[in-house]
Amino acid sequence: VFVPSWFNRMSQSNNQPWYKDGLQFQCTGCGDCCTGAPGYVWVNKEEIAALAAEVGVDVPEFEKLYVRRIGNRKSLKELKKSYDCIFLDADTRKCRVYVARPRQCRTWPFWDSNIRTPAAWAHTCEVCAGSGTGKLHQLEVIEEQAAVFKL
């Protein structure tokens, strides 16, 4: 039986997401979301252009240096030994292209996979020190962010 991804987020009693009162998140700047196990930071044409401008190179050069093709999609490269994002500064643990960071990065931690259930959110809070603390984000903001990037 197919169950839409939004179904698990909805409370059976009032058809509202379980996080209808909002969720807390405040980035700690730890850089942990930019490292860890191998993965992908998906980028589209517009994001590649913005990142290239931020780095100060043209798009073809940017793609040659910083992008890898995965099937018909594109992802930022990772460092081979650590799996860190290629734009994570190893000394400061800060993003070197923060102003132009892709939507996948901009919408963390409010990805559909992280807010699907209270258990999924609890796991996100375990792996991200800023999740579950700090600023309270309202339902509308969370839903808007979840709609931007599905993962």
pLDDT in tens, 34-76: 998 899 999 999 999 999 999 999 999 999 999 999 999 999 9
147 vs 149, which has greater pLDDT?
Answer: 147
pLDDT in tens, 61-70: 999 999 999 9
Reduced 3-state DSSP string for the chain: CCCCCCHHHECCCCCCECCCCCEEECCCCCCHHHCCCCCCCEECHHHHHHHHHHHCCCHHHHHHHHEEEECCEEEECECCCCCCECCECCCCCCECCHHHCCHHHHCCCCCHHHHCCHHHHHHHHHHCCCEEEEEEECHHHHHHHHHHCCC
pLDDT band at 10 (very low <50, low <70, confident <90, very high): low
pTM of the predicted structure, to 2 decimals: 0.83
pLDDT band at 7 (very low <50, low <70, confident <90, very high): very low
30 vs 2, which has greater pLDDT?
Answer: 30
pLDDT in tens, 92-140: 999 999 999 999 999 999 999 999 999 999 999 999 999 999 999 999 9
pLDDT at 32 over 70: yes
